[in-house]
Amino acid sequence: MNPILNTIKSRRSIRKYLPTQIKDEELELIIEAGIYAPSGHNDQPWHFTVIQDKELIDFMSEESKKVMAELPVDWIAAIGKSETLNIFYHAPTVIVVSGKKDATSPFADCCAAIQNMLLAAESMDIGSCWIGLARFFYENPENLKKLNIPKDYEPHYSVSFGYKAVSTPKAPERNRNVVNYIK
């Protein structure tokens, strides 16, 4: 099978990591993959904040969970109230992906960058997980100051990265009834 298609089909969200930090060379390749993502009007509107400080990652998780615990959505509140869950799954590296506010399509462009990074990580057998729950951390302006994100950018998502502490799970069956053709 084509190696790119194989990587796409084998990539899964990993939620258990070894504590060992990923190598700088691997991290740079992951970031480079994000930088090479397509973007509307070639704006390249992304900014990557790499966090490898365990205390800050844990703080981000706890602050997110405080907000989540008060929400009316049961499953989100339950995660927020969990005393043991870390929303980054104790990954040694977290990358916050922010988009330039005045770009053509910063949200979609940042999502494309994230997908490139996820696939690059998988190609090196590095686990990753796209983390949407970190958005609750970003809602507090005081929290954002800790991340030194440039002022013209807003964070969209975080991604956890680390060496896998578990085998990559098998892909769930895919819904194939999602295409129609007009010829």
Topology given in CATH for the domain delimited by 7-163: NADH Oxidase (3.40.109)
How many whole angstroms from its chain centre is CA 129? 6
Q: Render pLDDT for 112-148 as a digit per residue (tens, 0 to 9).
A: 999 999 999 999 999 999 999 999 999 999 999 999 9
Ordered by start, the domain boundaries in the chain are 7-163
Q: Say what percent of the chain tops pLDDT 70.
A: 100
How, if at all, do strands 93-100 and 46-51 pair? antiparallel
- Per-residue model confidence (pLDDT) at position 1: 79
Q: Render pLDDT for 21-39 as a digit per residue (tens, 0 to 9).
A: 999 999 999 999 999 999 9
**Residue the block writes with tokens 């090196």:** 124
Strand order in 153-163's β-sheet?
A: 46-51, 93-100, 153-163, 126-131
- Per-residue model confidence (pLDDT) at position 86: 97
